[in-house]
Chains A and B, each alone.
Chain A
Amino acid sequence: MKFKSFPAIILLLLLSACGAGGVQTNSTAETTSYIENKGSDTIVNLALAWAEAYQEEHPDVRISVTGGGSGTGIAALINGTVDIANASRQIKTEEIEQARANGIEPHEFIIARDAIAIIVHPDNPVSRLTLQQISDIYSGKITNWAEVGGEDRPIVCLSRETNSGTHVYFLETVLRLGDSKAKTLFSMETLLLPSSEGIINEVRQNPNAIGYDGLGYVPDDLKIIAVAETDGGEYVLPMISTVNDKSYPIARDLYMYTAGEPTGIVKTYLDWILSTEAQKIVAELGFVPILLYNP
């Protein structure tokens, strides 16, 4: 008997879900304008928080936010399927060319700043590294924690997949130390995990692991490494203040791209994003507001 009632319950749940969806669309069907917003997984939480806050004030606007990676968002912009693309890296020249070939001129907005935090297991005694050491760890020159003042344990490097803007940024800024001619690559042993959660999960349970992730995503139970830009330099922890005064070396701008100069509701929305009110949300989510940095 129990088993027989099971499908009925599922059916009921499905029906109620459909019902709820239906009501929502009906109530806003009349004068709703839609904004399609897609791209970087780093920005997706921020974009969602903005969309929620904005929709509360402007019930006539519906903003749909999806992730997928910076490349995915920009590809969608090139194909003309989104209004706003989120990217945690600047658009590449090839991408601009592809967009122009489709008759689209990408328009850039810097909407916030982000710091990449280097994270390790809380029991790991290592609490500070230089950029050079991090580069050597990820390129496979340093393979044991003892070489950087820790316990005698192998180092397991964790990275995001290659389609992540964070991956490319980390490669350029940390592995290659900002030298555009350098050919340093991630060691082949580096684990490429498809999501931020994957990295955080592995670092949380594995004392051998080292990972990196956007400051906004690092939970309190992981240890953040203080980073020095040069060998004799000062070790700095990523915080809003240290990112703003540029003393923390692994920080970057976050972007939104529109197809051409934005107009109508997209323009109003982007203007709002650059306002003090929206930038407060940036700080709440652990990113760095653009206004404080560049008043």
Chain B
Amino acid sequence: MEPRKLNWQEFFIPRLIKASGYSAILFVVLIFFFLLREGLPALGQVELDVLFSQRWYPIEAYFGTLPLITGSLIVTIGAMIVALPFGIGTAVFMSEIAPRWLREILKPLVELLGGLPSVVLGFLGILLLSPFLRIFLDLPTGLTALAGALLLGGIAVPTIVSIAEDALDAVPYSYREAAWAMGATRWQTIWRVTLPAARSGVLTAVMLGIGRTIGETMTVMMVTGNAPVLAIKLNSIFRPVRTMTATIAAEMGEVANGSTHYHVLFFIGLVLFLISLAVNITASSVVFKSKKRAERVLS
């Protein structure tokens, strides 16, 4: 009885695990084809120079997506400038410096922060952050790319901390001991030994942080003002912007199925998907290269 049951499990469970693994690939491919099917007709219905013009006003057939793309980029870059030092700094502190008991408290707290619904952060942004920014920086309005970047940075920090901390934690203790034995200071150990050793995990953390940021919708829709202005000047960060995600969320509910506007919104989704894909590929190629070099050094 007992061995037979075991056999049955051994037959079933690996296949289940395999199927779940492959299903992820299948879903990504299906989503990609769906986006292609719904988004590519936009290229046929809207002239390319209109699609990449500077005016977005879809109810009058102005389908310029440049303001939206630059809007998403400026908010994401701003958020990363906030989140990278904070996220990696916190991860280093928790894994390398903080005493055990403090770490036991910090880690769940950071993860709790990661579970905050983005709409709640949006409310904080509207009621506290944006008035503060307007008065403090003397801006016409506080609903700006900066407000979005600060809040999204806050959203990305827990993701980055959680994964980067795990990666740092996985670095064998003997590495640190070796560094200390050679007279390295704590800072030298962190900067020259632990962080480079955990490089691929930290890069994954950053990558997921970027992914979380560029895909975030509710918060940016509430705090960035949603004005479709081309955001390429230096002071654009202090001006309202409209992101791709907010545009899709705000307009998808209203479009007639199959209309030009509908296809253009899917086209924007496709651009968003390709940007995430590019970020992923760049990051994994960097990880891959660094691994090869490490292997070379070791051999």
Residues on A close to B: CB < 8 A? 68-69, 71-72, 75, 94-95, 98, 153-156, 161-163, 168, 185-186, 188-194, 198, 201-202, 205-206, 208-209
Considering only residues 187-230 of chain B, those with a C-beta below 8 Å from chain A are 221-222, 225-229
Q: Which listed residue (A69, A185, A186, A191) contacts B225, Cβ 8 A?
A: A191
Considering only residues 101-129 of chain B, those with a C-beta below 8 Å from chain A are 126-127
A-B contact pairs, 10 of them (CB 8 A): A68-B253, A75-B256, A154-B140, A188-B228, A189-B229, A192-B225, A192-B226, A205-B131, A206-B134, A206-B142
Does B176 sit within 8 A of A, measured CB to CB?
no
Does B288 sit within 8 A of A, measured CB to CB?
no
Q: Which residues of A contact B254 (CB under 8 A)?
A: 69, 71-72, 75, 162-163
Is A162 a contact partner of B141 (Cβ separation < 8 A)? no
Q: A198 to B57, alpha carbons, bound, how many Å? A: 20
Residues on B close to A: CB < 8 A? 55, 57-60, 62, 67, 126-127, 130-131, 134, 140-143, 221-222, 225-229, 239-240, 242, 250-251, 253-254, 256
Is B143 a contact partner of A191 (Cβ separation < 8 A)? yes
Least CB separation from B223: chain A residue: A198
Q: A154 to B134, alpha carbons, bound, how many Å? A: 12
Is A185 a contact partner of B57 (Cβ separation < 8 A)? yes
Q: Which residues of B contact A185 (CB under 8 A)?
A: 55, 57, 60, 62
Q: Which listed residue (B58, B239, B240) contacts A162, Cβ 8 A?
A: B58
Is A194 a contact partner of B131 (Cβ separation < 8 A)? no
A219 to chain B: closest CB distance in Å?
15
A161-B226, A162-B58, A209-B141 known; A189+B240 contact, CB < 8 A: yes
Q: Which residues of B contact A153 (CB under 8 A)?
A: 140
B228 to chain A: closest CB distance in Å?
6
Q: Which residues of A contact B130 (CB under 8 A)?
A: 202
Q: Which listed residue (B57, B225, B253) contacts A163, Cβ 8 A?
A: B253
Is B141 a contact partner of A193 (Cβ separation < 8 A)? no
Is B141 a contact partner of A191 (Cβ separation < 8 A)? yes
Q: Which residues of A contact B67 (CB under 8 A)?
A: 188
Q: Which listed residue (A72, A95, A194) contacts B221, Cβ 8 A?
A: A194
Q: A190 to B226, alpha carbons, bound, how many Å? A: 8
Q: Which listed residue (A94, A155, A161, A192) contacts B256, Cβ 8 A?
A: A94
Q: Which listed residue (B60, B240, B251) contacts A161, Cβ 8 A?
A: B251
Q: A91 to B55, alpha carbons, bound, how many Å? A: 26
Q: A191 to B145, alpha carbons, bound, how many Å? A: 12
Q: Which residues of B contact A192 (CB under 8 A)?
A: 225-228, 242, 250
Is B141 a contact partner of A206 (Cβ separation < 8 A)? yes
Q: A201 to B225, alpha carbons, bound, how many Å? A: 12
Least CB separation from B60: chain A residue: A185
B83 to chain A: closest CB distance in Å?
25
A106 to chain B: closest CB distance in Å?
14
Is B131 a contact partner of A186 (Cβ separation < 8 A)? no
Q: A168 to B239, alpha carbons, bound, how many Å? A: 25
